[in-house]
Amino acid sequence: MRKPRLIISKCLNSEKCRYNGQIYDDKVISLLRKYVDLETVCPEREIGLEVPRNPIRIEKHDDKYKLIEPSSNMDYTSQMTEFAEEFLNNIEDVDGFVLKSRSPSCGIKDVKIYPKSQKCSISKKGQGVFGAKVVEKYSNIPIEDEGRLKNYNIRDEFLTKIFTINNLKCENSILDFHKKNSLLLKSYNEDIYDELNSIVSKENVDEDDINLYKNKVYEILNNKRDKITKIRLIKDCFRKYEAYLNEEERDYFDDLLKLYEKEKMPFSSIMVALQICAIRFDDKDLSNQTFFNPYPIELISITDSGKGRNL
Ligand code: SF4
C-alpha cells in the first residue's frame, strides 16, 4: 500500500548535518516515520558545505535577499538557488514537505533577516533560499516546518491533507474516493465540493474529468476549515438520527455542540458521539467517512499540551 511521500530536512532526526555538527530530535518526525515514506535533503551539504561549518544567514542587500557567510563574506545565493531548482524539478512524486524552521536555507516563514554586514536582525519573517523555492513550486501541497507541527491544530490539518492526497492517489475510482471523503471535502469548501459532486455525477466520466476532479481536490484542500461549517455538517448528519433518540440523548448532543462552540470541548468528542450513532444505526456511509479518522489514530500524539485543540 502506498504511503504519503514527504521530503524533510535531513537534520530532522536523520543526520548530524547542521553547521555545528548537531541533529534535531523531533517527536513528530519520529512518530511519522512508520506511516509515511520520507526522503531527506540537506541543501547546505548538497552545495558542498562541510560539517562543521561557519554559520550562514539571510542578508538584505538593497531589495535582494542573499545567503551570506558573514565570517568570509561568501555569497551562496546562486549555488543554493541552482541546487533548489534542479532538486525540485527532479522530484517525481511528493505529497508534502517538513522543513527546518528558522534555517536560512530550509526555513519557510520565520527566518531572521539581517541588514548587510550588521549584527542585529531586522525581521524574523523571511524565507530561506531553498524553502522559498519549495513554497514557490509546490503551493498546491502541504508545506510545514517542524516548529509549527508541534501545534495540534496545525499538525492535524497537515496530516489530514497528506493522507487525503495519498488516498486520492491510492483509490482506483474517483467515485469511491468521493463517497468516503465527501464530508471531509465539504468541510473545506462547499462550493468546490459541489463542483466535485457534479464531476462524479456525470453519466460518462472520462480521463479529463478524472484529472479535473483530482486538481479540484488539491484546490479544496488549500482552503481553511472553519468551526461554523463543521458544526453545520455535524448537525446535518445528526438530524437523521434525531427521531430515534430520546430527549435526554438529543439534549446531550446539543450540549456537546455548545461546549465545542465555546471551545470547552474538543471536536474529537463530537465526532465520537456522532460515530456512536452511525454504529448504532448501522449507517455504513457515515461510519466509513474519513472525516472521522482522516489519518492513523496512532499519529494523534498523547504528548500534546492540548493548546488549540478545538479547531
Ligand atoms: S536546516 Fe536544512 S540546510 Fe540546514 S542543516 Fe538542516 S537540512 Fe541542512
Counting from 1 in the atom list of ligand 1, the atom nearest the Cα of 100 is 1
Give the pLDDT score at 120: 82
Considering the domain architecture, whether residues 144 and 189 belong to the same structural domain is answered as no
Cα–Cα distance for residue pair 158/192, rounded to 1 Å: 20
Counting from 1 in the atom list of ligand 1, the atom nearest the Cα of 105 is 3
> Greatest CA separation found in the chain?
76
Considering the domain architecture, whether residues 190 and 252 belong to the same structural domain is answered as yes
- Select from 150, 183, 202 the last residue of a domain: 150
Total structural domains within the chain: 2
Counting from 1 in the atom list of ligand 1, the atom nearest the Cα of 17 is 5
Considering the domain architecture, whether residues 71 and 109 belong to the same structural domain is answered as yes
Give the pLDDT score at 311: 40
Residue 274 lies in a domain: yes
Considering the domain architecture, whether residues 187 and 269 belong to the same structural domain is answered as yes
Residue 172, judged by CB atoms within 10 A of its CB (0-12, 13-18, 19+), counts as: exposed
Q: Within 13 A of 244's CA, how many CA atoms are on the CB side? A: 9
Give the pLDDT score at 153: 85
Residue 120 lies in a domain: yes
**Domain extent at residue 272:** 173-311
- Select from 115, 150, 185 the last residue of a domain: 150
Cα–Cα distance for residue pair 126/103, rounded to 1 Å: 10
Dihedral angle of Cα 44, 45, 47, 49, to the nearest 10 degrees:
90
Helix (H, G, I), strand (E, B) or coil at 166: helix
Residue 168 lies in a domain: no
Local structure of residue 97 (DSSP, 8 states): E
Q: How far is the CA of 117 from the centre of ligand 1 (A)?
A: 23
Residue 148 Cα distances to 28, 177, 270, angstroms: 11, 29, 25
Residue 156, judged by CB atoms within 10 A of its CB (0-12, 13-18, 19+), counts as: buried
Cα–Cα distance for residue pair 33/178, rounded to 1 Å: 28
Q: What is the pLDDT of residues 184-204, one digit of tens each?
A: 999 999 999 999 999 999 999
Q: What are the grid coordinates assigned to 130, written together?
A: 531553498
Residue 231 Cα distances to 183, 227, 250, 263, 280, angstroms: 12, 6, 15, 12, 21
| Short-list 45, 152, 189, CA closest to 103 | 45
Give the pLDDT score at 303: 54
Residue 156 lies in a domain: no
Q: How far is the CA of 91 from the centre of ligand 1 (A)?
A: 18
Residue 222 lies in a domain: yes
What residues of the chain score a pLDDT lower than 50?
A: 305-311
Q: Render 112-162 in DSSP notation, one character per residue.
A: EEEETT-SS-SEEEE--HHHHHHHHH-TTS-EEETTGGGSHHHHHHHHHHH
Q: What is the pLDDT of residues 144-167, one digit of tens each?
A: 999 999 998 899 999 999 999 999
